[in-house]
Structure 1
């Protein structure tokens, strides 16, 4: 699982390098100057070491060649109407940025080197146009090699670049997806860039999560109900080395790498990452399916980062999705990666310490607070409700009831079982603590139960009828008295 340039990109760059350009004719046409041509020719057909010596001997000259200065326009400005020249210059610049360590910082001499690059990201909306793609590689190399955190980079160039890369990750072509994901990885070099990445999460994080959902067998546009119900499909054993949904192992690894980098901001993003994307559930399912130790290590390490810094909110989630049992099973395998073994031990110990002090009541509360219900043991246990119904109603001034009402208010079109479970729980509360019916009614729970009697789903209708039966029973008894 190397981080070498994807085949698609390497092939494109090689083709452009080998493409003959009639440079003398371009000079005569005013596409570039004699001086610019001399600088290009000095470095275009020489070895890497010689290239570095030439550029380092004339850093100012090559800076001006690519980013301009006062009355000296850059070659990109002059060649703007000649796409074949622009493509060649972008490939050449990327090669020079990689070969000459001093060049990237030199381009920042006047503060903002992005003036002539950012418009190229919007050169065309056609995914086949190489200019935006090649521009993204230049900008990524420039930012990553300098680790620049100036205002010009963070607040001007980086948001535009993230937006462009998000279009690649949403493309149907796995090759373009992989380019976008790898460039993300190069850009998440520090806290500032990671926070900007998170600030644009609807563009950046959401498509990556969808790739992971696809790998778990949950199609685009579907909810994660299949993950909660445990019906997600497993690893495909096809010859293409893909997971379910056709996600290649290399793309999977690179997506996990990016989200692992983001997890170093877990204190700031962890709760919302789980609330918006069910990341603990998703990673637990991916851990079940993980085909390689390298992907398993990234999954375990990311969970470690998230759970360690958000223990109050995320450890209950981890127990709810049965992560401890999965880790126990994983620890029995013959793992060869010492880093994975260390991360796995740390994660298991953290969860063991947490579960030692937690009760079934704590697990139930965690499930409700998660916003998603499943048929876990407490729901059908008469003993559980007899012992805990009043405690549930009183917990944190009715916080659990309010969350239950919030869950029931949603339609749950892709997972009607949630509504059936919620009706079951409301019925159990009415049965065990009938004097609190008024409290439940004020939250709209009785009204919602009555509405659900008209649901198309048979299980929802049945559970809503049972719940309403409890209300009617106590109403009749009071009338008799």
Structure 2
């Protein structure tokens, strides 16, 4: 459900308001949805649960059975007067049942009852907070416990309710680290609907500033999210993923290190070039604006290498329904233009290496560039040289391979003694020699040239 109001992104200055009517979404349970989940809800809603047998086994009480039977076959409309009078008691009942039951069928049915209670009435989530005041583990604990059951439906539905609980209170869920670890595992699921639903949940949770950094610090979490983005093509999915990245980029630490860790700028530029839907372009450009405002030194050169400036120049000629897109494009374009002249050739070269987008830019072909900068590839324990060696081994792009071979030749030409040793230790020498038989003629030529320079240099 999209908001038509001006909303402030939590964590920003009180004076800074973001009128992003389509960009910032209200945190409502209705935005966490999927046709697969709807089918599961309908299926479980019609299943018979032997509550009397569970009562006789001592799993639930007689009063609890009576309360369940009073609502389990009621429509959303029929629940209105019941919840108006007894809503707090039902919230307490559901929390208690979620905490003590272990049977999959019973937990599934309780989660459907909770869904029906909250459907079109998200304000009733406050009843769960109120009902949970008497127990320090409530209201979050029972749903964390349910995540460990191992049932797909229970996991998804519990995470939905847990998210709504988290986003509807100023109290901070002390088990958010466990929740993010669980979600990171879900993001690697082979089931597409599981991934889709967890992305929607992250979009809701990232409205809370403290949780952006927590997710960032969760092992493998950001890598899993960005890997999904890089493999996506559906506009809505790209939008939801980029929306998550945009919210994360409000955190200074994330904005500073995200591209170096995940090379996300190149991916976003490519999506912006091919995007048809305005909202996709909008959230991408808004993300770039955050990168520039919060960490220009870390992101500016990568944006230039990814050719964001000509893209902004092209986008600036288009008519946009939302004036804020034009404002963000103009801001990004202006910042890139101002920094283009001051950015050193070597900084651009470093960005090419770090993003993996080597191309025949002037620095590669300049003898003066290599005379002045070849030794700088040895700095910081040969960090840049190692990156060049990784591109030789990992890239399948013939242009990247050809440029990398050329650069290895130029590097060794001006680092005859130590350069040969480093290249051999890293395996770059062997890889260049292998590329002399590559199917691409340019790769073969530059690999041969680099090999000749390697052996021509005296020890």
Please say whether Structure 1 and Structure 2 have the same fold, judged by a TM-score greater than 0.5.
yes
Q: Is the 8 A contact 1:212 1:252 kept in 2?
A: yes
2:264 maps to which residue?
A: 279
**Aligned counterpart, 2:228:** 211
| Structure 1 position 280, deviation (Å) | 0.6
Conserved? CA contact 1:455–1:461, under 8 Å: no
Q: Does 1:192 align with 2:223?
A: no
Q: In 2 relative to 1, CA 353–15 (structure 1 residues): closer, same or farther, beyond 3 Å?
A: same
Match of 2:253 among 236, 256, 268: 268
* Cα 1:293/1:121, change in 2 over 3 Å: same
Distance 2:409 2:55 in 1: 83
Could you tell me whether the CA contact under 8 Å between 1:80 and 1:86 is conserved in 2? yes
Aligned to 2:359: 375
CA deviation after TM superposition for structure 1 residue 250, in Å: 2.6
| Pair 1:27 & 2:44 matched | no
SS at match of 2:168: helix
Q: Assess if the C-alpha contact under 8 Å between 1:174 and 1:251 holds in 2.
A: no
| TM-score in terms of structure 2 length | 0.79
Find the partner of 1:467 among 446, 450, 455: 450
Contact 1:430 1:470 in 2 (8 A): yes
Partner residue, 1:121: 147
2 CA distance for matches of 1:372 and 1:261? Answer: 25
1:138 correspondence with 2:138: no
1:427 and 1:468 in contact (8 A); partners too: yes
Summarize the alignment of residues 423-434 of structure 1 with structure 2, pairs less than 5 Å apart.
423-428=405-410
Q: 1:6 aligns to what?
A: 34
d(CA) in 1 for partners of 2:309, 2:430: 38
Q: Secondary structure at the match of 1:140?
A: helix
> What's the CA shift string for 1:35-89, capped at 9, x where partnerless?
2234435555364542442245xx3x4454234xxxxxx32355433x3332121
Question: Which residue does 2:111 correspond to in 1?
Answer: 90
- Against the structure 1 CA distance between its residues 24 and 188, is the aligned structure 2 distance closer, same or farther, given a 3 Å change threshold? same
Q: 2:303 aligns with which of 308, 318, 341?
A: 318
Deviation at 1:423, TM superposition (A): 3.5
**1:427-476 Cα shifts (integer Å, max 9, x gaps):** 33566x5xx53453464479966434531443556434423544665659
Q: Say whether 1:389 aligns with 2:370.
A: yes
Q: Cα–Cα, structure 1 residues 78 and 310, in superposed 2: closer, same or farther, change >3 Å?
A: closer
What is the distance in 2 between the residues matched to 1:11 and 1:443?
59
User: Could you tell me which residue of structure 2 aligns to residue 290 of structure 1?
Assistant: 275
Q: Deviations over 1:331-360 (max 9, x none)?
A: 222221222222222211221121132354
Matched, 1:406 2:398: no
Task: Output the CA distance in 2 between the equivalents of 1:167 and 1:398.
Answer: 38
Distance 1:412 1:371, change over 3 A: farther
Report if aligned partners of 1:379, 1:421 keep a CA contact under 8 Å in 2.
Answer: no
* Cα distance in 1, alignment partners of residues 245 and 131 from structure 2: 30
Question: Is the alpha carbon distance of 1:94 and 1:332 closer, same or farther for their aligned partners in structure 2, counting shifts above 3 Å?
Answer: same
Q: Can you list the C-alpha shifts for 1:305-325, whole angstroms capped at 9, x where unaligned?
A: 123211112100000111111
Q: Take 1:446 and 1:164, find their aligned partners in 2: how far apart are those partners? A: 40
| RMSD, aligned CA | 3.3
Aligned partner of 1:256 in structure 2 is: 242
In the aligned structure 2, how far is the partner of 1:102 from the partner of 1:37? 24
Contact (CA 8 Å) 2:180, 2:215: kept in 1 or not?
yes
Pair 1:471–1:453, CA change in 2 (3 A): closer
The 2-side partners of 1:165 and 1:312 are apart by 32
Distance 1:447 1:466, change over 3 A: farther
Residue 50 in structure 1 maps to residue 81 in structure 2: yes
**Equivalent position to 2:433, from 420, 444, 454:** 454
Change (3 A) 1:453 1:39: closer
Residues 21 and 319 of structure 1: CA distance in aligned 2, closer, same or farther (over 3 Å):
same
Describe the SS at the equivalent of 2:145: helix
Give TM-score scaled by structure 1 length.
Answer: 0.75
Instruction: State the Cα distance separating 1:421 from its structure 2 match.
Output: 2.4
Preserved CA contact (<8 Å) 1:86 1:131: yes
Please list every run of 5 or more consecutive structure 1 residues that lacks an aligned counterpart in the other structure: 68-73, 216-242, 477-481
CA distance in 2, matches of 1:165, 1:429: 44
Write the distance in 2 (CA, Å) between the matches of 1:39 and 1:47. 15
Using the alignment, how far apart are the partners of 1:33 and 1:300 within structure 2? 56
Q: CA deviation at 1:173?
A: 3.6
Matches of 2:56 and 2:223, distance apart in 1: 49
